[in-house]
Structure 1
């Protein structure tokens, strides 16, 4: 077995690299890709005829160093952006909506812009069809709406589903 590893260790390190790269594609957390850099370092060690124990140390040291030193910088770079930059869902908060199906604490439908959303209220009386409301939060695929605004919503007439 050791003779095979000494002759074809590059296959071992290349396989480790590819498995770690695939694991990174499945998780997207920047751990496995940095560990795969350690496998590449061990592969380079093999190509320079380093003994197996040195290849393993190269793998461990490079994987640990890249995880400790590069991962925080990469995450900071990925998260960098203006504080007021909102996701598409966050942009809906505060928008006016029209009730299409009576909205209660468990169910209902509203039209926000041109899209129909499931909706609910946190508490209080049901909101009738045609009422103008405001989106106060988005939880999953459900709009949490607040009590009717002071004016009736304009636009297309409300219909029930």
Structure 2
């Protein structure tokens, strides 16, 4: 094992992995572009580049990915997968049957075979 300076690229790779994992939750294709920037910075670090150059590589690659790859991916995904409303958004505009008195403080309705409070 070398000194800590030789292994600094692992911090960038760790950041990329963390951003990738959080992207799984958000599914907005922003954090994954930042992860790409982190991998570019890791490459600059592994090649012996100074910290300022690593930060510049991170910023430049992230912006390029956000402005070019992300819009293309969003168009591609939206054309392949139809948008399906879920949860509360799926019930907007539907007619419900009042089971109990409904007021601003509460009540119960039957909607699509289920009783909601």
Normalised by the length of structure 1, the TM-score is: 0.51
The answer for the alignment partner of 1:41 in structure 2 is 40
| Larger proportion of strand | 1
Quickly say closer, same or farther: Cα 1:43–1:92, change in 2 above 3 A.
closer
Is residue 51 from structure 1 mapped to residue 49 from structure 2 by the alignment?
Answer: yes
- 3-state DSSP class of the match of 2:8? helix
Higher relative contact order (CA 8 A, sep 6+): 2
1:32-111 equivalences under 5 Å are 32-47=31-46, 49-52=47-50, 53-80=52-79, 87-88=85-86, 89-90=89-90, 93-95=93-95, 97-111=96-110
| C-alpha distance in 1 between matches for 2:107 and 2:27 | 36
1:113 aligns with 2:112: yes
Q: CA deviation at 1:115?
A: 0.5
Q: 1:99 to 1:60 in 2, by over 3 A?
A: closer
Provide the C-alpha distance between the structure 2 equivalents of 1:93 and 1:11, rounded to a whole number of angstroms. 51
Structure 1 residues 14-23 or 108-117, which shifts more?
14-23
Distance 1:112 1:8, change over 3 A: closer
Shift of 1:66: 0.6
The structure number with the bigger radius of gyration is: 1
Structure 1 residue 50: deviation in Å? Answer: 4.5
**Structure 2: tracts of 5 or more residues without a match:** none
Q: Counterpart in 2 of 1:8?
A: 7
More helix by share: 2
Q: TM-score, normalised by structure 2?
A: 0.65
